[in-house]
Amino acid sequence: MAAVLVLIWLPFSLLAGHELRRVLSGARLTAQTDRERALAAAERLSLLVVVLFTVVHVAQTAWPLLSGSLTDADLRPELILTLSTTNHGLPMQGALYLCGVGAGSFYAVRQALAALAGASSATARAVVALGVLGYALGSYAVIRCASGQIFP
């Protein structure tokens, strides 16, 4: 768990902190068209959702492991319990996890497209397809944990 925190979460936290400072500083959107401005605003919102999701997810999974309140064997059943619990008949935690997965996929695609500016349209379509695949797999994982096996 410590390796995951250092190799994945630390770089993500540094990037997210840098981006959040830029977003929260009130920097104006530099996009020219209405479509570009809407996508840039959605990208900012998705970053906020991803950061909130990350904080909640780390608090529910990594922190109990590191503090010793949960063992490795207890983590998955605890996550399944959290995702499958309903409030007034609605699986709120599962829905929030799906929003986090969607925001993460959207933000990752937008950042990849920005990094590959000037790439061919085939490359851009491949990046978007990978983002959709990532969202589908992430959603499947959340739904499977929340409700059990979907496909036989």
What is the domain extent for residue 133?
A: 39-147
Q: Is residue 24 part of a domain?
A: no
* pLDDT band with cut points at 50, 70 and 90 for residue 101: very high
Residue 91 Rama label (left phi>0; alpha psi -120 to 50; beta): beta
pLDDT, one tens digit per residue, over 12-26 is 778 778 777 877 776
Q: Is residue 12 part of a domain?
A: no
Q: Is residue 13 part of a domain?
A: no
User: Per the structure, how many domains does the chain have?
Assistant: 1
- Mean pLDDT on 28-40: 79
Joined tokens for residue 35:
């479509």
Q: Is residue 11 part of a domain?
A: no
Q: What does the radius of gyration of the chain's CA atoms come to, in whole angstroms?
A: 18
Q: Is residue 17 part of a domain?
A: no
Estimate the crossing angle of helix 34-60 against helix 92-115, to 10 degrees: 130
Q: Is residue 52 part of a domain?
A: yes
